Amino acid sequence: MRIYWSRFRRWLPGHLTDFAFFLLFLLGIGLLLSPYFGWIDMNWEARAALFSGLLAGAVVWWQVYLLVRQLAYGAVLELEREWNSSEMLKKRRLAWIVEKETPNPETIEGVLEFLEKVSTLERDKYITREFIWDTFGWYISRYFYYCKDAIKELRTYWTGKFDPTLYCDLEQLYRRLMQFEADKRNLEVSAIEEEYHNTKGKFIRAEGADG
């Protein structure tokens, strides 16, 4: 029972609208069935008026929800275009010292800044985690995992002392995505990170390849 409750708690933040519509549906069914069980002492006209109001509200809510989804989808498309632009592809290519399989401390920031921007949009709920998972999740998880040491150095480089706020949104999103992937694949986070470790060279060579 605890497993299902834990999964529900992780599922709910990204599906509040779906859950609200489900509750609204149950409320409407309850109103229609209430005469047979004596749940609510209201005449049929009052019940019909209340149900019509709930239905109208649901329609408006659904239209707003679709508009928000459309805007989010548009934002993701714009981010994808930027991520795959010639300028960003060049930054991604130069972000690695391929022969050493390490991030280039002189150039890695250009890519990390973009991924931090995506992470902030997810944090502020402009983009859902599902959208991120389906588009940038592959890159966000691996860039952060392979750049952990570089990020630690950057957190000290710019201020002279350790600044944990630098790339904090990226770090938090990494943790959420790792748990999301673990749930999807029915694996432990440690097992996924081991996969990342074993495929590090392959990923860096792909990102650092010309063309």
CB atoms within 10 A of CB 101: 15
CB atoms within 10 A of CB 166: 20
pTM for the full predicted model: 0.71
**Separation between Cα atoms, residue 150 and residue 206, nearest integer Å:** 19
**Separation between Cα atoms, residue 20 and residue 27, nearest integer Å:** 10
Domain segments of the chain as ranges: 2-70, 84-208
Tens digit of pLDDT at every position of the chain (211 positions): 555 555 545 555 555 556 565 566 656 665 555 555 455 555 666 666 666 766 666 667 666 666 666 777 778 889 999 999 999 999 999 999 999 999 999 999 999 999 999 999 999 988 888 889 989 999 999 999 999 999 999 999 887 888 999 999 999 999 999 999 999 899 999 999 999 999 999 999 999 886 5
Q: Are 63 and 163 in contact (CB under 8 A)?
A: no
SS3 content of the chain, % helix, strand, coil (to 5): 80, 0, 20
